[in-house]
Amino acid sequence: MAVVIASSGGRALVSHRSAAAMHSLEGFAEGIREVITLRGVRLRVPGVIVHQVSVAVPDEDIIVIDGIPCTTLARTIVDLPQVVDDRTMERALDDFERRGYSLTWLEQVANRLHRPGQRGTKLILAEVRRRRQRGRVRGSWFEKLIHECLRSRTLPELVQQYPIADSTGRTICTVDLAIPDVKLALECHSRAFHTGTHAEIVDQRRENRAMLEGWQFLYLGWADRKTPPQAREYLERLVARRRLDLGTCL
C-alpha cells in the first residue's frame, strides 16, 4: 500500500477494508487494496479500489501505521457499511468494543459525516444506540456463532457475559453464556486454546470457586459449531438433568 499512496503524491489514504486489515479488525485480512481520495485526484493503479469524497479527510480521522497513512479505527468502521454486509459490520463493531474504545468516538465521527439519505452513518448511529442499551459486549465472535447454533424451543434464552457471584455477592468470574436457573455456565472455546500454565491455573481456580456455589461448566469448541444439532441435543439433555438434580423440573 505504501507504493499506492506514493503514486497519489500523498493525497490518498488507506481506507475501508484495507484500513480494517491494517487495524487488525476481526474478519479482515490483507488482500483488498482500497483508498480514499479527494474528488478530482487522479489515481489509476491496477487492482486498487478508489473512493472519492467531496470533503478532505480531516487530520483527526487520520493515523499513520507502519509509516502508511490511513483512516483511524473509528473512521474506518463508519466507512465500512459502504462495502461490507451487516454481519461483517457486527463483527467489526464487537471487536471495536472489546478493545475498550468508546462508542462516543464512533458516534461523533458518524454524526460529523452523516448526510440525509446516507445508509452507512445511519446504520452506525442506530447500532451505537442499540449497544448502549444492550450493555456488555459479547466476549468473542465465536461466542455469537455458538449462541446461534444452540437456539432451541425447549431451552431458556442464553444469557451473554453472565457474572457468577459467591454467597456474599462478590463476582467470581464472568462466563460467555449461562443458563442461570440451572447454574450452567457455557464457555465458547476449547480447553486446548487455553495454553500456558498460568491460564490453566486461573481457569481452574475460578471454576473451583464457582463450583462451590453449585455451578457446572460446559466447554464448547469449533466441532460443536460444525454440528449444531448434536450440540443442541446434548445441551437440552444436560439442562433437563440439571433441573432434575436441583429439583427444579418444570
Please check whether residue 48 is in contact with residue 2, taking contact to mean a CB–CB distance below 8 angstroms. no
**Cα 183 vs. chain centroid, distance in angstroms?**
26
> What digits encode the pLDDT tens for the residues 148-206?
778 888 888 888 888 999 989 999 988 888 999 999 998 877 444 444 544 555 577 88
Give me the helix-helix angle, 86-98 and 119-134, nearest 10°.
50
For 42, the 3-state DSSP assignment is coil
Please give the single-letter amino acid code of residue 250: L
Q: Where in the chain are the domains?
A: 2-134, 141-246
Q: Which CATH architecture group holds 141-246? A: 3-Layer(aba) Sandwich (3.40)
> What digits encode the pLDDT tens for the residues 1-57?
877 777 777 788 999 999 999 999 988 988 889 999 888 777 777 888 989 888 889
**Which 8-state DSSP code applies to residue 54?**
S
* Largest separation between any pair of C-alpha atoms in the chain: 73
Length of the chain: 250
Beta bridge partners of 36: 13, 51
